[in-house]
Chains A and B, each alone.
Chain A
Amino acid sequence: MVVRCTLSAVGLLSTLYGPTCLYAWLTVPGLLKRRWLDVLEDLLADLDRGMQHSMPAGGAAVTYSKPRLANFWYYARVELVPPAPAEIPKAIEGATNIIKGFQTGRLGQTTVKDALRNGLVATEVLMWFYIGECIGKGGIVGYNV
């Protein structure tokens, strides 16, 4: 019973909760804006649902994933779009702001909370490089030469 619970929890967290708001997880601003109680509640609701019945299969998967897909697109259309060409100068401006802040010493005044948050966002941005590498090499683990 315990093993079944843990297995279903692990499987569910990667499949049920994933499509629900995958990028609200991965996109740090989306996750941090939510109340942690709501996040916990969603996780427990998924666990509960999973323990009642096993994974959906076949046609049921389509009806199952439709609302989750809609939810995913609801967030992705705003948070995951590539930058419009007009936004690129703003991005360069933001980068120069950071460099200036570093030079004036203003960056020394950031709070720990802000520093952690920025570190997390920077890590997420860097991880996209590895996703690109996986796409470029045509595989997830290792190079299939």
Chain B
Amino acid sequence: MVPPVAVSPLIKTARYSALIAGIIYGKRRYDHLKPIAAEERRIEEEEKKVREEQERIAKQLAEDSILK
């Protein structure tokens, strides 16, 4: 088996600082995006309710005019 290579300290510090920087970036981006997604979901819910209400009214009107 090939003996393991002694990696230079510059590469080692660069790797682990990149890892930590990535963890911090990922966490911050997630925390930034989470409320935006929750807000969008809330708005979608409200619009869906309004739309369903209008559909219900339209259906009522259609039924009333055709059947009677």
CA distance A124 to B11 in the complex (A): 10
Q: Are B12 and A87 in contact (CB under 8 A)?
A: yes
Chain A, interface size category, equals 35 or more
Interface residue count for B (Cβ, 8 Å)?
33
Residues 87-111 (chain A) with a chain B CB within 8 angstroms:
87-88, 90-91, 94-95
Residues 1-15 (chain B) with a chain A CB within 8 angstroms:
1-2, 4-15
Identify whether the interface residues of B are mostly helix, strand, loop, or mixed: helix
CA distance A131 to B26 in the complex (A): 10
**CB of A128 within 8 A of chain B?**
yes
Q: Are B22 and A135 in contact (CB under 8 A)?
A: yes
**CB of B67 within 8 A of chain A?**
no
CA distance A145 to B7 in the complex (A): 38
Q: Are A131 and B22 in contact (CB under 8 A)?
A: yes
CA distance A82 to B19 in the complex (A): 11
Which of chain A's residues have a CB closer than 8 A to the CB of B24?
132, 136
CA distance A115 to B41 in the complex (A): 49
**CB of B57 within 8 A of chain A?**
no
Interchain nearest-CB distance for A107 vs B (Å): 15
Q: Are B7 and A128 in contact (CB under 8 A)?
A: no
Q: Are B10 and A132 in contact (CB under 8 A)?
A: no
**CB of B29 within 8 A of chain A?**
yes
CA distance A68 to B21 in the complex (A): 31
Q: Interface on B for A, CB 8 Å cutoff?
A: 1-2, 4-16, 18-30, 33-34, 36-38
Could you list 25 A-B pairs, sorted by A, with CB under 8 Å?
A29-B5, A30-B5, A71-B1, A74-B4, A77-B4, A82-B12, A82-B16, A87-B9, A91-B8, A91-B14, A125-B11, A125-B14, A125-B18, A128-B16, A129-B18, A129-B22, A131-B22, A132-B18, A133-B29, A135-B22, A137-B26, A137-B30, A138-B26, A145-B33, A145-B34
